[in-house]
């Protein structure tokens, strides 16, 4: 893919390396080349995410990693160089019950945590970049040498949330 096709282009790609999810903070971007990708956050080996079906809190990050590996799901892991704590992450997620609209999408607890009002992922990433807290980008099951967030509008976020509310989970 060419650079101009992205609303946000990932920097510092750590090709061939995998993140140490037991240490540090990582923003997980599931299926990064899809419009309105799902995101989660891990800190010190614990994974958090807001989904239509509810919250995932303090899940073992290794378990989520192995799930992505098993399903061959593309994931980008953005290293966050910020002093945050499990207490702050839990407080941020406590403000939300489940993903249902733009005010409570998967992005909102993370935007709340970093005090960066955002509706779209590219906005959040640009804010984090301006704050100087983005480190390396690690990838899994992503084949492109260039990786970024494709342009999409808020209507696509709303459509995705509505369609996910009607998916029957096993």
More confident position, 139 or 164: 139
136 vs 151: CA distance, rounded Å = 22
Q: Nearest Cα to 132, choosing from 76, 75, 79, 77?
A: 79
Mean pLDDT, residues 80-106: 94
pLDDT digit string (tens) for 5-52?
A: 899 999 888 877 889 999 999 999 999 999 999 999 999 999 999 999
Tell me how long the chain is: 170
122 vs 128: CA distance, rounded Å = 10
pLDDT of residue 76: 95
Q: Is the pLDDT of residue 167 over 70?
A: no
pLDDT of residue 16: 75
Q: Is the pLDDT of residue 135 over 70?
A: yes
More confident position, 113 or 5: 113
Q: Is the pLDDT of residue 156 over 80?
A: yes
Burial, 47: exposed, middle or buried (Cβ in 10 Å; 0-12, 13-18, 19+)? buried
109 band by pLDDT with thresholds 50, 70 and 90: very high
Q: Is the pLDDT of residue 146 over 70?
A: yes
Quote the pTM value. 0.92
72 vs 165: CA distance, rounded Å = 24
- Backbone torsions φ then ψ of 93, nearest 5 degrees: -75, -25
| 121 DSSP 8-state letter | H
The position carrying tokens 């599931």 is 30
Contact 138, 81 (CB under 8 A): no
64 vs 46: CA distance, rounded Å = 10
Mean pLDDT, residues 83-89: 95
Q: Is the pLDDT of residue 114 over 50?
A: yes
DSSP per residue over 62-92, as a string? HHHHHHHHHHT--EEEEEE-----HHHHHHH
144 band by pLDDT with thresholds 50, 70 and 90: low
Q: Is the pLDDT of residue 92 over 50?
A: yes
């Amino acid at each position: 893919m060419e650079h101009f096709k992205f609303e946000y282009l990932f920097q510092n790609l750590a090709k061939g390396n995998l993140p140490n999810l037991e240490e540090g903070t990582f923003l997980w971007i599931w299926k990064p080349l899809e419009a309105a990708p799902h995101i989660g956050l891990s800190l010190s080996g614990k994974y958090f995410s807001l989904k239509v079906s509810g919250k995932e809190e303090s899940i073992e990050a290794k378990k989520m990693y192995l799930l992505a590996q098993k399903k061959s799901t593309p994931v980008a892991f953005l290293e966050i160089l910020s002093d945050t704590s499990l207490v702050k992450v839990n407080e941020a997620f406590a403000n939300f019950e489940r993903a249902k609209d733009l005010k409570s999408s998967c992005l909102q607890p993370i935007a709340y945590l970093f005090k960066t009002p955002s509706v779209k992922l590219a906005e959040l990433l640009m804010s984090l970049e301006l704050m100087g807290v983005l480190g390396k980008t690690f990838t899994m099951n992503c084949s492109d040498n260039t990786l970024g967030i494709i342009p999409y509008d808020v209507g696509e976020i709303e459509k995705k949330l509505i369609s996910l509310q009607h998916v029957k989970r096993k």
